[in-house]
Structure 1
């Protein structure tokens, strides 16, 4: 077994196998590129940064039909139990936008979870869809979001029988999941598809003590980010669907058009190969590796729970591998803890005042996780203060007032006004704390004093405010009257 395929995945991963062969040929000088990318695998200009960056076209694939990519995508479709799959090198952002373009036409209504990622909101703008918001339940103890209640979706569909789809994010950024079977029943009773942004759940469904993936629970389409919880390269994602060919509710031709509209014509062969390899890894070694990951998470949680005031929430509807650390009971600021962790050489996925989320994956080991936990405990103790009340992030609790459709606001004439003057005006921009990238303010929504105050509070605490034209929040972009 070659060193660069330690688990023997190439036999069931055609794109990955092609990448291995071409990498070997380039290293041995048997292949020389007179095609893009412009670095031509040469270290002379920018050093080893270019290693492994092989193209799909005029690279892994021979001229003609894309046989290897088609084979890899079909294998993934079978692995997730559906008939349609495309690999994206534009992350879940591209996949969410593709499915938005596929489910309706400009002016159509869709039922949408308010805690959707900004990529789906931008998809609504591109497609000209009009959202009817539904909201997740909130855990009163921790202030974290749960799932969207099926009854809320059923009621929204009853009020809007013209709706064309139901779009939800599940699991949430903090790993909580809802009743997808109930959501699917509500959507299907109305004759519309359920589309799930499951970006954080690429590992679901491949071991009995993890949740089933959304397609197995009744969803018609699923977006997953292979680069988040699997060992795929950044920007690697999949869009999977059950189409009308299998008695589903989604048109495969519309899905293809939606996907190709935002897809690059120069996809990275390396990113695509990493999706193929990650799928093969899940099918052949996922049960063992995901079991090891559960052990790492349990070990970390046990040590962290010994810290006075620190909480590590879990529950039957949560991703069992997601490590969410709540700090209000310690009085420590998550942002200051994060600074200490960075100084100690650790980066984590997310930090705000009350929450830390270090990502644990199948690539981690006991030594690394133990070192991280030791540093977290030390940083929390160094920042310890009086316990504070639980607060709800506006990302999970915002209830917007709609002034106009998102697309209309996006293309309207905008002007920049002082924050005080912006209150009561229609927003022309999207503003979100990042992470998690869930909009607190979106195009077409009325700007309220509460929204401005909450965003400024996050910024003052050291959080990152993303996508705003003025990150200082002294001014806002509004629709010109």
Structure 2
């Protein structure tokens, strides 16, 4: 029988409903078809209770989902919260549908996840790209600066919204308050994809969350830094600059009509845990990561990402000074039963969460140090990864390119043509090429270099990158930019 060891159910209506379902043991004549039997396909279906006809009646007469979302909205100090069982991907796409009309322009940070880009395709919005500032020493993104955003508004004064990803995948934190000030001075909402920052704002050692810094909408994943089921996420918004009814309709339009109750209940439970014990648990997490950073900093040549503009709960190490190959180190970690979030030649990113303890983190630190020593080589300078360094050149809108006729040609021949597909190193899932962008030699070289260094390049129809999908040369959108001001490289250097 499922239990509630920390006694959260009294403040978590969805968790309470999930527990009551198991306690009462009904004989349901609703979906899912396994009917709670584990003798058919096994325990893989354990805990799978639907929202409709499970946590609540099919008519939702109990209102448990609405009650849970209201509690989350209060905790983050905002007007609206919607739970997602489709991760931050669903939430990002719903926000895109709520921001404007087809053909409207939006200012978008280029460290966006692919889900934001595909949200623009769904909504028919035209991105005006904003390149992040890169750290001169590490080559890592430091976020879109307020100055770059201001320059973006000069290029696109009609932009209806601003969308940025912050913190970055590797843990660097930008100036969200400064971005909010610029966006609001222009009368536009700021939307922050903070998928990796559900813990922000709940301990004094952590950065404030984006809503507390002035953002109008925040998307964050409950399953990344909080102990929720995979795919659990929150969409939180203020309604001064974002239409609540439009946002609600957008969420429903892109959401499944059969949401998994266990995912929803875990998002509710994670919120209750954060509210009740977040300060204590996050304090221990920050201390644990700080100790890990100190230990790893003792490894000769190993860089440890740290400082005032880095998430104190993120563990990111830089291997250039050791000469070790991060992909080889990752293989050792996997063999030791310690898989990490990301590894490329120069970087290893490990997710440490509330669920870790001193023993698990200690094992990781020891294995990392051993792996670095095993693969140590000649030190090499930091080279910005493809996801951060390639500036896009737009030829037409993502939506137009997504639906346009295309052809498949050799990648070298594709240089100069308009891309018809999304190509991104994964993780982090940040596009290097997107539908509607010119295939440049810089983009192709960066992608090939990433592959040569062991990074998986995802989403392309041809995973070898021997060929690319491009718009057919006889299609009118193949040579039509949405706005003359957008048909150029949008580097932050040019805009500063």
Same fold (TM over 0.5): yes
User: Corresponding residue for 2:481?
Assistant: none
User: Corresponding residue for 2:21?
Assistant: 22
Which segment is superposed worse, 88-97 or 179-188?
179-188
Cα distance change of structure 1 residues 3 and 22 upon mapping to structure 2, 3 Å threshold: closer
Q: Distance in 2 between matches of 1:24 and 1:314?
A: 47
Alignment pair present for 1:173 and 2:169? yes
SS of 1:85 mapped into structure 2? strand
Displaced runs of 4+ in structure 1, greater than 3 A?
A: none
User: Corresponding residue for 1:375?
Assistant: 367
Q: Distance in 2 between matches of 1:413 and 1:62?
A: 46
Deviations 1:54-83 (A, max 9, x none): 000000102434500000000000000011
SS of 1:44 mapped into structure 2? coil
Within the candidate set 152, 155, 168, 1:156 is matched to 152
User: Corresponding residue for 2:202?
Assistant: 206
> What is the RMSD computed on CA atoms of the aligned residues?
1.1
User: Corresponding residue for 2:483?
Assistant: none
Map 1:270-289 to 2 at 5 A. Answer: 270-289=262-281
Q: Distance in 2 between matches of 1:136 and 1:315?
A: 18
Within the candidate set 448, 454, 470, 1:462 is matched to 454
SS of 2:396 mapped into structure 1? coil
Q: Distance in 2 between matches of 1:367 and 1:304?
A: 15
Q: Distance in 2 between matches of 1:343 and 1:174?
A: 23
SS of 1:146 mapped into structure 2? coil
Shift of the alpha carbon at 1:92?
0.4
Aligned length, in residue pairs: 472
Within the candidate set 182, 186, 189, 2:182 is matched to 186
Q: Distance in 2 between matches of 1:334 and 1:43?
A: 41
SS of 1:43 mapped into structure 2? coil
User: Corresponding residue for 1:262?
Assistant: 254
Within the candidate set 203, 220, 226, 1:230 is matched to 226
Map 1:31-70 to 2 at 5 A. Answer: 31-65=26-60, 67-70=63-66
Shift of the alpha carbon at 1:156?
1.4
Q: Distance in 2 between matches of 1:371 and 1:177?
A: 27
Deviations 1:108-167 (A, max 9, x none): 000000111100000001100001111111111111100211111112113322110000
Deviations 1:278-322 (A, max 9, x none): 000001000000011011101111111111000111111221000
User: Corresponding residue for 1:77?
Assistant: 73
Contact 2:52 2:59 in 1 (8 A): no
Q: Distance in 1 between matches of 2:376 and 2:436?
A: 41
Deviations 1:311-347 (A, max 9, x none): 1111112210000010000111000000011111111
Shift of the alpha carbon at 1:436?
0.2
User: Corresponding residue for 1:452?
Assistant: 444
Q: Distance in 2 between matches of 1:24 and 1:107?
A: 52
Q: Distance in 1 between matches of 2:181 and 2:294?
A: 38
Question: Unaligned 5+ residue runs, structure 2?
Answer: 474-496
Shift of the alpha carbon at 1:460?
1.8
Q: Distance in 2 between matches of 1:13 and 1:101?
A: 30
Within the candidate set 133, 137, 150, 1:137 is matched to 133
Contact 2:390 2:442 in 1 (8 A): no
User: Corresponding residue for 2:486?
Assistant: none
Q: Distance in 2 between matches of 1:46 and 1:229?
A: 30
Deviations 1:219-254 (A, max 9, x none): 0000000000000000000100000xxxx1010011
Map 1:117-128 to 2 at 5 A. Answer: 117-128=113-124
Deviations 1:341-400 (A, max 9, x none): 111111111100000011000000011111111111111111011111111001011111
The alignment's TM-score, normalised by the length of structure 1, stands at 0.97
Deviations 1:15-45 (A, max 9, x none): 001111112333xxxx122211111111111
Q: Distance in 2 between matches of 1:210 and 1:134?
A: 26
The alignment's TM-score, normalised by the length of structure 2, stands at 0.94
Q: Distance in 1 between matches of 2:154 and 2:452?
A: 42
